[in-house]
Amino acid sequence: DLVLAGIKAGAKGFLLKDVSLEELVGAVKTVAGGGSMIKPAVSQRLLKGLENLQTDFSSLDRPDPLTERETEIFRLMAGGYSNKEIANSLGVAEGTVKNHVSNILSKMGVRDRTRAVLKAFEMKLL
């Protein structure tokens, strides 16, 4: 699948061809700012492709347990939601979500959201 190949190659975002100009500009800004952007429709394709994915993670040790709030945010991340969307959904500041995401990445031993989600699915944590 092209999405998985792109992630392995280091892609930080995926959008479908039918996104609006506003969504495209927002995605570019998010990725340029160090974030990642995968729309929910792309996440569904990604999850289907994970069934045949062989892991290339350096370690599949179980990560430190996530707090209840981190787990809640992680599930929303896995659904392809941005920090801003997660913050709005939970009624917290975007900076609070960023702090939780940073903690999640650290506990998962990965450097970006996409790899965290891939590792979680590989380890059957989600």
User: Residue 112 belongs to a domain with what CATH number?
Assistant: 1.10.10.10
User: Please, are residues 50 and 93 in contact by the beta-carbon 8 Å criterion?
Assistant: no
Mean pLDDT of the chain: 81
**What angle, 0 to 180 degrees and rounded to 10, lies between the N-to-C axes of helices 83-90 and 68-78?**
130
Number of domains in the chain: 1
Q: pLDDT at position 39, please? A: 75
| Token output for 8 | 């392995």
Side chain identity, residue 98: K
Range with the largest mean pLDDT of 11-20, 62-71, 109-118: 109-118
Q: Domain of residue 71: give its range.
A: 2-122
**What angle, 0 to 180 degrees and rounded to 10, lies between the N-to-C axes of helices 94-108 and 68-78?**
90
Q: Is the dihedral of CA 121, 106, 71, 83 positive or negative?
A: negative
Q: Rounded to whole angstroms, how far apart are CA atoms 17 and 2?
A: 14
Q: pLDDT at position 90, please? A: 94
pLDDT tens track for 62-99: 557 888 999 899 989 888 899 999 999 999 999 999 99
